[in-house]
Amino acid sequence: VSQTPGNEVAAWAERVQQGDRRALARAITCVENGEALAAELLAALYPLGGHAHVIGITGAPGTGKSTLVNALAQAYRRRGLTVGILAVDPSSPFTGGAILGDRLRMRDLAGDAGIFVRSMATRGSTGGLSRMAADVVHLLDAAGYRRIFIETVGAGQDEVDVARLAHTVIVVEAPGLGDDIQAIKAGILETANILVVNKADREGAEQTMASLRMMLDLQRPEQATVSHHGTLMAMAAHTPEAPGRWQPPLLAAVATEGRGAEEIVDAIEAHRFHLATTPEGAELRARHAEIELGRALDEALRRLLAQRLAREEYARLLADVIDRRVDPRSAAEQLIRCLCSPGES
Ligand SMILES: Nc1nc2c(ncn2[C@@H]2O[C@H](COP(=O)(O)OP(=O)(O)OP(=O)(O)O)[C@@H](O)[C@H]2O)c(=O)[nH]1
Ligand SMILES: [Mg+2]
């Protein structure tokens, strides 16, 4: 039960919207702690969002994602756009070294009112991560940040889920990681809208570029054989794409020197334009909304069940499942029926 009356929440939401950094920081903490107040704030702020372009950055540990985000944020600032950054560390349940490192690497950004940086650890809870990140994005969006970066490490389910929140997904590779490209190929390469080989100053960068180029070419449909009047024909490698299809560009960068940052920002903006001018943008927005509505519905139902369900009824059915008198699905059905028509059953 919230201690803060509704008009205080409204005032708080107003401060977030006006760019009050402390109000925003407190709102994010509320979301992280799963406080009921967060829901009220988000209810007030969600309708104000929808203006930010969200960029997901993922890749193996140490490929230079944070350094790159730093460089990209500065490039955006030069273009007069405000930037929100959310660094998510799903592997670490502690607010430990990685996040401290991010703070250091992003210190160039400190003191710029047009940039807001936040690191988030998951405290051991999986699954909740992408909901939390989605909520933080809504807060940053309502606070007026026009480009929002979400950095995640690796290619696990959590990272893929977080990437699904983004409008543009950038996968960062670095030379010398060898087998990691395979791992990424298996997981997240398909979701990449832009591929970056960072640490292009390192040995092996060209080789990494070449293997990624090969994978991209393999993914492209014109590489496949097509049936033409019943005859299988191999298509040429670089025939023009059907108009309206996005081709993920492969770009090199040296994030520590800011090299390649302008080109990557150009690519992000080109992808943004692509989304705005094809049906893909609306489809993506609809998909995001559906994911969030589905998740909210799950949570609401669970809450409703917890509130309404008679403990004894639940305990009785649980015992039935334990003793294999009833299977879990039928038990769940029965519980839902109790919920819909209390007093019966
Ligand atoms: N040589 C070289 N080093 C780089 C480059 N970009 C980043 N680094 C270095 O690589 C190391 C890791 O960089 P981070 O930006 O922390 O990498 P990250 O991918 O964010 O790392 P995690 O968040 O821990 O997965 C740091 O020591 C950087 O200075 C680059 O372009 N060239
Ligand atoms: Mg990092």
Residue pLDDT tens, the chain, 345 long: 445 667 899 999 999 999 999 999 999 999 988 888 999 999 999 999 999 999 999 888 889 999 999 999 999 999 999 999 998 865 544 444 445 455 555 655 667 889 999 988 665 555 577 888 999 999 999 999 999 999 987 666 767 777 788 999 999 999 976 655 655 555 667 789 999 999 999 999 999 899 888 888 877 665 444 555 555 544 444 445 556 789 999 999 999 999 999 999 999 999 999 999 999 999 999 999 999 999 899 888 888 888 888 788 889 999 999 999 999 999 999 888 877 775 544
Does the C-beta of 72 come closer than 6 Å to ligand 1?
no
CA gap 249, 215 in Å, rounded: 12
**Contacts (Cβ under 8 Å, ≥6 apart) of 121:** 89, 92, 93, 94, 95, 96, 99
Tell whether ligand 1 has an atom less than 6 A from the beta carbon of residue 105: yes
The pTM (predicted TM-score) of the whole model is: 0.84
Q: Is 175 in the pocket of ligand 1 (CB under 6 A)?
A: no
Is 152 near ligand 1, meaning CB less than 6 Å away?
Answer: no
Question: Does residue 331 line the site of ligand 1, with CB under 6 A?
Answer: no
Distance from C-alpha of 135 to C-alpha of 30, rounded to nearest angstrom: 10
Which residues lie near ion ligand 2 (Cβ < 5 Å)? 65-66
Q: How far is the CA of 330 from the centre of ligand 2 (A)?
A: 45
- Closest by CA to 194, choosing from 217, 215, 171, is 171
CA pair distance 326, 177, nearest whole angstrom: 51
Cα separation, 335 vs 287, whole angstroms: 30
Ligand 1 nearest atom to the CA of residue 202, by list position: 1
> Among candidates 82, 202, 98, 88, which has minimal Cα distance to 153?
88
CA of 293 to the centre of ligand 2 (A): 30
Nearest CA, atom 32, ligand 1: 199
User: How far apart, in whole angstroms, are the C-alpha atoms of residue 209 and residue 3?
Assistant: 55
Of 170, 27, 158, nearest in space to 93 by CA = 158
Is residue 98 lining ligand 1, measured as CB closer than 6 Å?
Answer: yes
Q: Is the CB of 64 under 6 A from ligand 1?
A: yes
8-state DSSP, 52: P
Helix (H) or strand (E) holding 147: strand 147-151
> Given the CA of residue 154, which atom of ligand 1 is nearest to it?
25
Quick one: CA torsion of 291, 295, 296, 297, rounded to 10 degrees? 100
The tokens 């009833």 sit on which residue?
A: 326
